[in-house]
Amino acid sequence: MRAAGTMLAKSGGMDYLFSEAGSRALDFAAIGPTLFAFDLDDLLGPDAPPLPDETRRGLLELSRTAPVAVISARERARVVDRLPEGLSYVIGRDGEGLPGSAVASKPEAVQALLTHSRCRTAVFVGAGAGDETVFESAPPHWLTVHVGAGEPSCARWFVNDEQELASLLRAIVARRGH
């Protein structure tokens, strides 16, 4: 168990996003037409507390400057009320809410959202085993971020926990503001 405030430098082949190299990757991802996609199922479950205010605020602020998608394995109706209004996309199980037709997988949903939003690259943030298919299939120019240190993942980067997710949102919003 890590001490409070300790940042892990490497986790299961991933690099820590709040490092010098991670900062450069964030700089690159924050410019231009980028889709920001999040799987927040761990935070949006039926027994989970409300989405933290900082995360809600960060998603909403980011959605003012870029397409933001929340992709869930749950029914869309079960998550849409737990999110701030104004997000570009809220996608439920089997592609529910996806512009056009439904898709069979999360990677296909992200690809369809890239096409629909006319973005050239994506930032995908997730925490669960269901996100690994996106991490595995992501092209090298995508920024893939796993929430949770010490867990194996195919994501390129990690943040330690949900609190750092809010920090990630603040960092992206700040970069897009410049």
> Does the residue 21 lie in any domain?
no
Least confident of 34-48, 84-98, 114-128, 139-153: 34-48
Share of the chain above pLDDT 70, in %: 89
**Under a CB-based contact definition with an 8 Å cutoff, are residues 25 and 143 in contact?**
yes
Establish if 6 belongs to a structural domain: no
Per-residue tokens: 8:
């892990």
Instruction: Look at residue 7 in the predicted model and tell me its pLDDT.
Output: 44
Asked whether residue 50 is assigned to any structural domain, the reply reads yes
Domain that includes residue 73, residue range: 34-176
Mean pLDDT of all residues in 99-117: 87
For residue 90, what are the contacts with CB-CB under 8 A and spacing of at least 6?
Answer: 69, 70, 72, 76, 79, 80, 83, 97
Residue 157 predicted with pLDDT over 50: yes
Q: Has residue 141 been placed in a domain?
A: yes
Per-residue pLDDT at 2? 35
- Determine the pLDDT at residue 158: 95
Q: How confident is the model at residue 12 (pLDDT cuts 50, 70, 90)?
A: low
Question: Is there a domain that residue 1 lies in?
Answer: no
Mean pLDDT over 82-110 rounds to 87
Distance CA 51, CA 169 (A): 14
Q: What is the rounded distance in angstroms from the CA atom of residue 135 to the CA atom of residue 122?
A: 11
Number of folded domains in the chain? 1
CATH of the domain at 133: 3.40.50.1000
Distance of alpha carbon 129 from alpha carbon 42, whole angstroms = 11
Distance CA 92, CA 78 (A): 9
Tell me whether residue 166 is in a domain: yes
Please list, in sequence order, all residues whose beta carbon lies within 8 angstroms of the beta carbon of residue 78, skipping any fewer than 6 positions away. 44, 46, 72, 92
pTM across the whole model: 0.89
